């Protein structure tokens, strides 16, 4: 039979019976769902706990890596930070020379030469006084020996009483004496610290050059540091750097003023007590008292060592009273008035900072701890996610 296309073209329907099988094949299948199965509340809590644990682990690893890095780079970091402090010390001199038409490079050179000359002169003076002090000690050997003998007698009594309590039962065997001989103290110190001493001397030779370039390129370094940040954050970065600079300047000026006052009073008191080399010990004690909280103990060591066998009990009491009063006045009265407006830190934060940086960097850590924690607080104040830490470090 011939196929007629006309009815199809005219839109006529062609009645036909469809096969049920064909109908089932032509019908579209229901879409399969791609959504994951629902998560129970217990699984969600476990997932959140795992994410938090991973975040804490990352923070711990980052903290350990940071501590290890600053410990390994302590010589470089201490040299750089000490140079920054010295550059702030001599910046007023360079600025004053620039105002009278002296080029900044020439003013920086004058400041560095002055710094080297002052350092050499003070080193020679204090070294000579220390040698003279050690040479004069035999004159007081009788008094020192009597004082130490009394102390040794008391120690022997305590040792004998302790030995009688915890002595082991006798076994009848005679103990064999063993003598251990060590290398001479000087040669042992030289052999142990020769590498460290060489590194320190090498780092010290870099300080004048770093200070010179920091003074010469101050404006460039400031603007370049601000340009490291995106445009929308440069104003905040500029204010942060400005506040840190003002804090360091006030910190240096305040410590210098308070240290000179402490040294003057200590020198007068030690002179009245007849302590040898009172001018040498007074300066050391006065500036050692600047270290927060620990300085009172460090400031007591020079006068007590110099007055051993020279001053009596009342003199020792006067030394302790003078050092403690100066430390309290400097820490709680003068220091807040001079530095307190720019550096508001709570005592716990300062103590923890001293402990941490002394553990990492030793004696230099005690000197740099306060400006470091102060700069950290200023940065935290301007960075919103760290504002809580900044509030914790503050008063």
Q: How many whole angstroms separate alpha carbon 326 and alpha carbon 320?
A: 10
- Assess if residue 72 is contained within a domain: yes
- The pair of three-digit structure tokens given for residue 233, joined into one six-digit string: 């954050």
Q: How many whole angstroms separate alpha carbon 301 and alpha carbon 281?
A: 9
- The pair of three-digit structure tokens given for residue 350, joined into one six-digit string: 């300062």
Q: pLDDT tens digit string along 109-160?
A: 999 999 899 888 888 887 887 777 677 666 665 666 666 677 677 777 777 7
- Assess if residue 126 is contained within a domain: yes
Structural domain span for residue 97: 55-136+206-216
Q: What is the pLDDT of residue 268?
A: 92
Q: Which of 386, 292, 285 is nearest to 343 (CA)?
A: 292
Residue with tokens 């930070």: 81
Q: What is the pLDDT of residue 174?
A: 56
Q: How many whole angstroms separate alpha carbon 238 and alpha carbon 240?
A: 5
- The pair of three-digit structure tokens given for residue 140, joined into one six-digit string: 């007081």
- Assess if residue 315 is contained within a domain: no
Q: What does 67-125 look like in DSSP terms, one character per residue?
A: HHHHHHTHHHHHHHHHHHHHHHHHHHHHHHHHHTT--HHHHHHHHHHHHHHHHHHHHHH
**Residues 253 and 259: beta-carbon distance below 8 Å:** no
- The pair of three-digit structure tokens given for residue 23, joined into one six-digit string: 């109908």
- Assess if residue 17 is contained within a domain: no
- Assess if residue 59 is contained within a domain: yes
- Assess if residue 66 is contained within a domain: yes
Q: What is the pLDDT of residue 11?
A: 45
Cα 15-18-23 angle, rounded to 5 deg? 140
Q: How many whole angstroms separate alpha carbon 109 and alpha carbon 216?
A: 9
- The pair of three-digit structure tokens given for residue 106, joined into one six-digit string: 């020439």
**Residues 286 and 264: beta-carbon distance below 8 Å:** yes
* Number of domains, the chain: 1
- Assess if residue 146 is contained within a domain: no
Q: How many whole angstroms separate alpha carbon 68 and alpha carbon 339?
A: 32
Q: How many whole angstroms separate alpha carbon 87 and alpha carbon 78?
A: 14
User: Where are the strands (E) in 66-216, listed by range?
Assistant: none
Residues contacting 323, CB < 8 A, separation 6+: 266, 285, 289, 296, 299, 300, 303
Residue 80: Cβ within 10 Å count: 15
* Main-chain phi, psi angles of 385, to 5 degrees: -65, -20
The CA radius of gyration of the chain, in Å to the nearest whole number, is 37
- The pair of three-digit structure tokens given for residue 315, joined into one six-digit string: 């003199």
**Residues 350 and 376: beta-carbon distance below 8 Å:** no
Query: Which residues in the chain show pLDDT less than 50?
Result: 1-27, 183-187, 189-194
356, exposed or middle or buried, with CB in 10 Å at 0-12, 13-18, 19+? Answer: middle
Q: How many whole angstroms separate alpha carbon 327 and alpha carbon 338?
A: 15
Q: Which of 321, 240, 254 is nearest to 292 (CA)?
A: 254
Q: Give Cα separations from 157 to 365, 379, 393 (angstroms).
A: 40, 57, 48
**Residues 126 and 280: beta-carbon distance below 8 Å:** yes
- Assess if residue 268 is contained within a domain: no
**Residues 377 and 394: beta-carbon distance below 8 Å:** yes
Q: What is the pLDDT of residue 114?
A: 92
Q: What is the pLDDT of residue 110?
A: 92
Length of the chain: 395
């Amino acid at each position: 039979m011939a196929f007629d296309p006309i009815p199809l073209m005219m839109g006529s329907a062609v009645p036909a019976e469809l096969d049920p099988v064909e109908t089932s094949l032509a019908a579209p299948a229901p879409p399969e769902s791609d959504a994951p199965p629902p998560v129970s509340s217990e699984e969600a809590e476990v997932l959140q706990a795992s994410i938090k644990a991973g975040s804490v682990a990352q923070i711990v690893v980052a903290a350990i890596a940071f501590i290890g890095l600053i410990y390994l780079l302590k010589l470089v970091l201490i040299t750089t930070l000490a140079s920054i402090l010295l550059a702030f010390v001599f910046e007023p001199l360079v600025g004053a020379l620039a105002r009278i038409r002296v080029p900044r490079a020439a003013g920086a050179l004058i400041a560095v030469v002055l710094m080297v000359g002052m350092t050499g002169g003070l080193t020679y003076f204090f070294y000579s006084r220390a040698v003279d002090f050690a040479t004069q000690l035999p004159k007081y050997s009788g008094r020192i020996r009597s004082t130490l003998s009394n102390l040794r007698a008391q120690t022997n009594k305590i040792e004998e009483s302790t030995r009688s309590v915890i002595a082991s039962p006798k076994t009848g065997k005679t103990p064999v004496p063993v003598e251990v001989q060590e290398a001479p103290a000087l040669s042992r110190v030289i052999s142990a610290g020769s590498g460290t001493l060489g590194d320190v001397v090498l780092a010290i030779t870099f300080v004048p050059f770093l200070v010179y370039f920091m003074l010469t390129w101050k404006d460039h370094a400031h603007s370049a540091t601000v340009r490291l940040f995106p445009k929308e954050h440069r104003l905040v970065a500029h204010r942060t750097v400005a506040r840190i600079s003002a804090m360091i300047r006030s910190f240096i000026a305040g410590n210098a003023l308070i240290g000179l006052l402490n040294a003057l009073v200590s020198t007068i008191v030690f002179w009245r007590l007849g302590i040898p080399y009172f001018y040498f010990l007074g300066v050391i004690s006065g500036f050692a008292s600047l270290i927060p909280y620990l300085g009172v103990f460090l400031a007591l060591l020079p006068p007590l060592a110099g007055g051993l066998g020279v001053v009596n009990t009342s003199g020792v009491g006067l030394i302790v009273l003078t050092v403690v009063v100066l430390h309290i006045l400097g820490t709680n009265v003068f220091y807040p008035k001079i530095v307190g407006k720019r550096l508001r830190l709570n005592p716990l934060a300062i103590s923890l900072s001293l402990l941490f940086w002394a553990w990492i960097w030793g004696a230099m850590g005690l000197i740099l701890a306060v400006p470091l924690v102060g700069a950290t607080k200023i940065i935290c104040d301007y960075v919103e996610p760290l504002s809580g830490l900044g509030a914790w470090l503050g008063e």
